[in-house]
Amino acid sequence: MQELRILVDYDDNGYLLQIFTKPVQDRPTLFLEVIQRNNHFGFGAGNFKSLFEAIEKDQDARGNLTVLTPENQGVPKAFY
């Protein structure tokens, strides 16, 4: 699953498989999400951290990630 970048969330009753496409337009603002459920009624809350880290990694690769430090805090950064 990890090699295929499929996120898994589960509880006592079932599981949820979740995968996201790369952006489908020039601007990285539109992507698709595919979900498969097996007796799971949540929304992948257990996957939020992994999803957020993947977004940060993509932003860093594009040069759009800014780490806030005391020196640059409050400096506006345009997200593209």
- Cβ contact 17:8 at 8 Å: yes
Q: Percent helix, strand, coil in the chain (nearest 5)? A: 20, 20, 60
Length of the chain: 80
Confidence of residue 52 (pLDDT cuts 50, 70, 90): confident
Q: How many distinct structural domains can be found in the chain?
A: 1
Domain range enclosing 19: 2-79
What would the mean pLDDT of 33-41 be, rounded to a whole number?
90
| CATH number for the domain harbouring residue 32 | 3.10.180.10
Stronger pLDDT, 58 or 78, i.e. the higher one? 58
- Cβ contact 20:31 at 8 Å: yes
